[in-house]
Amino acid sequence: MRMKRLRLNALCTIALLAPTYGYCAVEWIVDTNGCKVESPRPIPNESVAWSGPCPDGLAEGRGQLIWSYDGDMKAGRRSGQGVLTTARGVRYEGGFVDDRYAGRGTLQYPSGMVQQGEFVAGRMEGACALTWHQGDRYEGECKGGRLEGTGQIRFANGDRYAGAISASQPSGSGNYGWVRGDVYEGEFKNGKPWGHGEYRFVDGSRYIGNFSEGLPSGQGRVELPSGLGYEGNFESGSPTTPGIFFKAGTAAPEDSLQLRMQLALRYALPQPIQRFRQYPSVEGLCRSMPRPQLPVVNWKGQAVYKLIGVVHDGRVVSMDVTPLRGGVDPVAQREFVASIESAVKAYDCPGNHVFEQEFQFALN
């Protein structure tokens, strides 16, 4: 994963998967009746109204938090079962513990993406299902909010994959089938056939051997429906010497130009594998990315934030900054978020996009 080093001793990384939101304590909001509710993400001039019990001045028990929450509270924090709807259209229904998604839940984004499964401290862990607005769907295992373990995905174009997954891409042993009928079964790395495997074409042809970067590479064997074949070395999908041309059931034919061309054309360009949907890298979208300034705050430690930015006609028109780590002083929290938002507003990103970015402030 590419990293951009910031002057403020921070990391700016691009996530491979659509966002997962966590909630961290930052400050209290008091409703018109004097009842306190903790706000994980302070918004200027934010106000709330709590309809439930309020022992010791803190929201408690079952009630409705207007405008954004309907569910259980404990000591002023969302705890239990509830439905949270943010001002930016993100909706979560399920379990909460200390204002974070916890337990089974469903998270929906304005883009149409839906995440379902088990949440731990705001991130998906264990069994999960994700549906992208384009129509792709994943069912399997998640870790730290990313696809990790084993699972299967059906792409909107009809392709399908089942097997091992790491860092949200096929990695390890798996099976990929194209909608037109071709199938690859074997080892994957970084989302591509890599290692030993077998590629079966819909017309009956097949290749068995080694792959690299998604293409036959190294030792392998090709068999065409006509019985013609080649066994030997491959480079970038094409047969090379040393090797042996053959025809099943007959004497080996000459190393003819015609046969060499048949094999080269057949295997030079296997079908591309679909990539799991992801937000594009902001570094690949934007021509200018001013760095956030490190604010002067009376606080020490690390603060981590995730930002989802929406670009329209080259400018960031909206953003959602989410704290990913608790224990940050409320005053420092506001300063960090303001610094990020100020920098991102000045991004120059031609076109219309949605991107995801993480920031980490480290103060010693």
Provide the pLDDT for residue 40. Answer: 56
Same-domain status, 262 and 179: yes
Q: What's residue 265's pLDDT? A: 45
| Reported pTM | 0.59
Give the range of the structural domain holding residue 205, as residue numbers without chain letter. Answer: 169-267
Instruction: Indicate the residue among 201, 233, 267 that finishes a domain.
Output: 267
Please report, for the domain that includes residue 11, its CATH number.
Answer: 3.30.2420
Does one domain contain both 296 and 211? no
The whole-number pLDDT of residue 11 equals: 25
- The length of the chain is 364
Q: Evaluate whether residue 133 is within a structural domain.
A: no
CATH number, domain of 105, equals 2.20.110
Whether 132 maps to a domain, the answer reads no
Which of the residues in the chain have pLDDT under 50? 1-26, 44, 255, 257, 261, 264-265, 267-269, 277-278
Do residues 259 and 284 both lie within one domain? Answer: no
Do 332 and 355 fall into the same domain?
yes
Residues 286 and 348 in one domain: yes
> Which amino acid makes up residue 304?
V
State whether 8 and 71 are in the same domain.
no
| 242 and 301 part of one domain | no
146 in a structural domain = no
For residue 48, being part of any structural domain is answered with: yes
**Same domain assignment for residues 32 and 120:** yes
198 domain residue, yes or no = yes
Let me know whether 7 and 65 are in one domain: no
- The answer as to whether 61 is a domain residue is yes
Q: Is residue 230 domain-shared with residue 318, that is, in the same domain?
A: no
Task: Write a three-state SS string for the chain.
Answer: CCEEEECCCEEEECCCCCCCCCCCCCEEEECCCCCEEEECCCCCCCCCEECCCCHHHECCEEEEEECCEEEEEECCEEEEEEEEECCCCCEEEEEEECCEEEEEEEEECCCCCEEEEEEECCEEEEEEEEECCCCCEEEEEEECCEEEEEEEEECCCCCEEEEEEECCEEEEEEEEECCCCCEEEEEEECCEEEEEEEEECCCCCEEEEEEECCEEEEEEEEECCCCEEEEEEEECCEEEEEEEEEECCCCCCCCCHHHHHHHHHHHCCCCCCCCCCCCCCHHHHCCECCCCCCCCCCCCEEEEEEEEEEEECCEEEEEEEEECCCCCCHHHHHHHHHHHHHHHHCCECCCCEEEEEEEEEEEC
Choosing from 267, 295, 313, the residue where a domain stops is 267
251 in a domain, yes or no?
Answer: yes
When divided into structural domains, the chain yields a total of 3
Q: Which of 267, 288, 316 is the last residue of a domain?
A: 267
Residue 261 shares a structural domain with residue 293? no
- Whether residues 8 and 36 fall in one domain: no
Q: Is 215 part of a structural domain of the chain?
A: yes
